[in-house]
Amino acid sequence: MELYENQFDEKHDFSKQVEAEKTLIIASTPRCGSHMLGHALYETGCFGFPLEYVNPANLDRWKQRLRTSDLSDTLSALRARRTSGNGVFAIKVHYSHLAQFDGFERLLSHFRNPSFVLLTRKKALDQAVSLSIANQTGVWISGQKGSGVEPEYQFDAIDRGLRSTLAQNAAWRYLLIAHGCRFFEMNFDEVRRSLEPSIAKIADFMDIDLPEGSVPKEQVTRQQGQSRNTAWVSRYLEDFGGGELDMPRPAGPSFFQRVRKKLLG
């Protein structure tokens, strides 16, 4: 079965339905490594199955499978199936997915006292290059069938991706801090190097007991990065002409009120 389709398979539903007592939300951006972390957490049997349930395309599929019509009913049905036996439900939410909830405050209304892990990448330029390649090929996870298009280096696309990634990470931090959310930040480069301690850190953060031997010592998904990525990073740095960010000039409270309103949805 193709890896993308695999996420919808009933074999990943937990056999015993339990009430979700804790929720883990992986606050993320595209190509930050959340796919690998989510599958590693699933392998423990203690974190539900953290997937992009509210990705627009995925949400439509879930509604079809679960025979639901709105977001609230879909999430309820997912919690009934994808909450692990210890009462933990987990979900990955890219910043762009907040639109599905009509803003961050509405997201909070769907989950009681959620715990957040903000997953970022230290090498944001590598992430932007990976994003450019995925946008062109349609391959977002290893094993997914893409468009067959051979990607081409595009400075503007990489630059937009870099700016967008940095802005979305900053917006996540703002929202989590401004709402007093319980969260901590993890760098994916460290997670990849030290998977077992990283998962143990999340378990400690959420006060979850991990059975001995349940934590995978190695990645359970394949890394997609290739020599092309490295070459594009070097080329971007050569092409970058030291351009200035198009930032707004200092303004009065009304400007910041408009920014806050936009971020909160």
Q: What is the mean pLDDT of residues 127-151?
A: 81
Q: Is the pLDDT of residue 250 over 50?
A: no
% residues pLDDT > 70 (the chain): 85
The pLDDT of residue 226 = 76
- The mean-pLDDT minimum among 111-125, 144-158, 172-186, 203-217 falls in 144-158
Q: Is the pLDDT of residue 1 over 70?
A: no
Q: Is the pLDDT of residue 258 over 80?
A: no
Is the distance from CB of 248 to CB of 258 less than 8 angstroms?
Answer: no
The pLDDT of residue 138 = 84
Q: Is the pLDDT of residue 257 over 70?
A: no
3-state SS, one letter per residue, for the chain: CCHHHHCCCHHHCCCCCCCCCEEEEEEECCCCCHHHHHHHHHHHCCCCCCECCCCHHHHHHHHHHHCCCCHHHHHHHHHHHHCCCCCEEEEEEEHHHHHHHCCHHHHHHHCCCCEEEEEECCCHHHHHHHHHHHHHHCCCCCCCCCCCCCCCCCHHHHHHHHHHHHHHHHHHHHHHHHCCCEEEEEEHHHHHHCHHHHHHHHHHHHCCCCCCCCCCCCCCCCCCCCHHHHHHHHHHHHHCCCCCCCCCCCCCHHHHHHHHHHHHC
The pLDDT of residue 144 = 61
What's the whole-model pTM score? 0.86
The pLDDT of residue 253 = 47
The listed CATH number (3.50.50.60, 3.40.50.1820, 3.20.170.30, 3.40.50.300) that belongs to domain 3-126+158-226: 3.40.50.300
Summarised one tens digit per residue, pLDDT across range 38-56 is 999 999 999 999 999 999 9
Indicate the domain borders of the chain: 3-126+158-226
Average pLDDT, the chain: 88
Summarised one tens digit per residue, pLDDT across range 21-35 is 999 999 999 999 999
The pLDDT of residue 139 = 80
